[in-house]
Amino acid sequence: MPEAAETHARPANTPLVQLRDSTVVYPGGHVGLERVSLKIDRGEFVFVVGPTGCGKSTLIKLLNRELEPDGGKVEIAGHDINEMPRTKIPQLRRRIGNVFQDFKLLPNRSVYDNVAYALQCTGASRAQIKSQVPEILRMVGLGAKIHNYPDELSGGEQQRVSVARAFVNHPPLVLADEPTGNLDPETSIGIMQLLYRINRTGSTVLVVTHDRGLVDKMRRRVIQLHEGRVIRDQSAGMYTTDESTTEFGVRIRNELGIAESRGKA
């Protein structure tokens, strides 16, 4: 597994993500995050919830180092990412998979090329691309649609492509910013199931959402933000960690009262 390389020679108890009193103030005075401290361990599945403007997206940008904190520290795997030189940022981003609400697929490239693009951009070999891309597309359930173009796919399928692209090089951390924001509940469960499956391969998954109903039923750690501050951090422990992906899907569907309908999403 590629994750193996990531954990070398580091104490096992180092949190994968650690924010220490991180503050972000946007130009104009709007506070994105205010003295936020939190720890996320390896292999966790974390929801970040809160109303619009509470700082959820700011948190994602902070972890990608699209933003730098005005105060405090952002550490990933024990390293302060704002101390690394600019030239190292690509290396950081290769270890983080990003999924977006609007998918951010390239409209004039096929599903295969969209996923391959992420590998090409990071200098993967041709052989690597040829073996990894079909594999990941099978995993997200799009093995039959690799030559379709994004506008020929449903929203759920497009989001699966986006997830495939984020996870194709098996990053230790996957950030999903409102991944189900544009999708119907049934499709949303499919995407959540997929993210859960990724989580079960060992990657840490952080999902930003305001779909409270879904979050409450999933029984994962929930960090609630309000006006840039953490107002609730309901830690893990109240769920069984070795639930299989299928069990997970069945349970969520039952709890949300949605009948299983295969082939959709």
Partner 1 sequence: MSHIPFFLGEAYRALRRNAAPSVAAIVTITMTMLLVGVLVPILGASNAKTNDIRDQVALQVFLFPNANQSEISALGQQLEGVEHINAVEYVSPKQGIEDLRTTLQEGGDADVLSEIKSNPLPPLFRITPDDPDNLESVLAALQPPDAAGKPRPISSAIEEIKTGDEQTETIRSVTGALKITLFAIAILLGITSIWLIANTIRLSIYARRREVEVMQLVGATDWFIRWPFVIEGIVVGLLGAGLATGILVVIKTVALDPLSADFSLIENLNTISLPQLLAILIVGAVGVSALGSGITLRRYLRI
Which residues are near partner 1 by CB under 8 A? 64, 87, 89-96, 98, 104, 106-108, 117-118, 120-123, 125, 165
Q: Is 31 exposed, middle or buried (0-12, 13-18, 19+ CB in 10 A)?
A: middle
One-letter amino acid for residue 12 of the chain: A
User: What share of residues in the chain are helix, strand, coil (percent, to 5)?
Assistant: 40, 20, 40
Of residues 51 and 90, the one with the C-beta less far from partner 1 = 90
Q: Which of 39, 27, 56 is nearest to 226 (CA)?
A: 56
Please state the closest distance from residue 177 (CB atom) to partner 1, in A: 11
Pick the closer one to partner 1 by CB: 89 or 236: 89
Smallest separation, CB 112 to partner 1 (Å): 15
CA distance 181 to 225: 18
Termini Cα distance of the chain = 28
Distance of closest approach, residue 16 Cβ to partner 1, in angstroms: 17
- Cβ closer to partner 1: 89 or 256? 89
Least separation, in Å, of the C-beta of 235 and partner 1? Answer: 29
Q: Considering the complex, state which of residue 155 and residue 185 has its C-beta at the smaller distance from partner 1.
A: 155
CA–CA dist 209, 224 (Å, integer): 10
